[in-house]
Amino acid sequence: MQAGALIAKGIACRRGDRILFAGLALSLAPGSALHLVGPNGTGKTSLLRVLAGLLPPAAPCTIEWQGSLAYLDGRTALDEHLPLAEALSFWSALDNSPPPPLERLGLTRLADIPVRYLSTGQRKRAGLARLIGQQADHWLLDEPLNGLDAEGTALVEALIAERRAAGGVVIVASHQPIALPGAQVLDLRDHPA
């Protein structure tokens, strides 16, 4: 894996006529984590989307990632009509990567079930399978614990710890408590326009 970091300066985000935050600067070293906190509507998801290049910032800024990036939100990006294993195989072929570890993610018995029949927690695990399959250096995770039980939560925390141990940066937006030892915490309420 190509270890890297994030340097970002002057990030601003607008929703309609309202500036959510402005002048935000981030510097994350290899293996570090950032926990985005705050109530709904403060811009946690928007910040993740700006950092991923999916949402344009509200003002000129600098965002420099060294290494590849993967983003996980509530959508799995899996074909709803295909069996889970087949839907994941599509992405493995596209990413030129080995199939994700279904057994570790508790998905083996669901391999032949169409994605549309998966529960919220099963979909979250399928999304994690897709995330792992991307083999990206750095992860942006939006509410990664939604729909997961205690075992699923522990799994996500272990996967994050492994990604960080390999030198990856992990940024998590979560309302739920999540174990991120040594992580920086950013409350976007502290960065108003």
pTM of the model: 0.91
pLDDT tens, residue by residue, 59-93: 899 999 999 999 999 888 899 999 999 999 999 88
Integer Cα distance of 8 and 69 in angstroms = 15
Query: Which helix (DSSP H) or strand (DSSP E) does residue 23 occupy?
Result: strand 18-28
What pLDDT, in 10s, does the model give residues 27-37? 999 999 999 99
Task: Mention every residue, 6+ apart, whose C-beta is less than 8 A from residue 103.
Answer: none
Token pair 């309302």 is found at: 175
147-169 average pLDDT score: 95
The dihedral through the CA atoms of 110, 116, 120, 124 has a sign that is positive
What is the C-alpha separation between 8 and 155, in angstroms, rounded? 29
| Domain ranges (residues) in the chain | 6-190
pLDDT attached to residue 99: 84
Whether residue 3 is predicted with pLDDT greater than 90 in this model: the reply is no
Regarding the domain delimited by 6-190, which CATH topology (the fold level of the hierarchy) does it fall under? Rossmann fold (3.40.50)
Instruction: Show Cβ contacts of residue 61 under 8 Å, excluding neighbours closer than 6 positions.
Output: 8, 9, 10, 11, 12
Q: What is the mean pLDDT of the chain?
A: 91
